[in-house]
Amino acid sequence: MQIELGDMIHWEHESGDTDVGWVVCVENRAGEEVDEELTTLIYIQWVLEDCTDHLWEQSVLEHPYITITKGGQDDQ
């Protein structure tokens, strides 16, 4: 799965900490000196924290507390 602009991110930690955010920017970092798996930086605008975080795409995909809902921005 590839994370895209407009995808919804659900954070549901077992401790009860929850939030929802949207992918507001995707930066391709290919060519920079980073781990091969860490080539795309995802910016998430969180609703409850009123802030934007940046995480590596691979970290978002593998994080046990994160669920991704595709945004459907390409639907016609």
Specify the pLDDT at position 34: 56
CB–CB of 29/52 below 8 Å? no
Number of domains in the chain: 1
Residue 18 lies in a domain: yes
Residue 2 lies in a domain: no
- Give me the mean pLDDT over the 11-18 stretch: 85
Taking CA atoms, 39 is separated from 4, 15, 65, 68, in Å, by 14, 30, 22, 19
Residue 21 lies in a domain: yes
Residue 75 lies in a domain: no
First CA to last CA distance, the chain: 21
Residue 74 lies in a domain: no
Domain membership of residue 28 as a residue range: 8-69
49-59 b/e (C-beta count within 10 Å ≥ 16 → b): eeeeeebbbbe
Q: What is the pLDDT of residues 26-36, one digit of tens each?
A: 998 766 555 55
Specify the pLDDT at position 43: 96
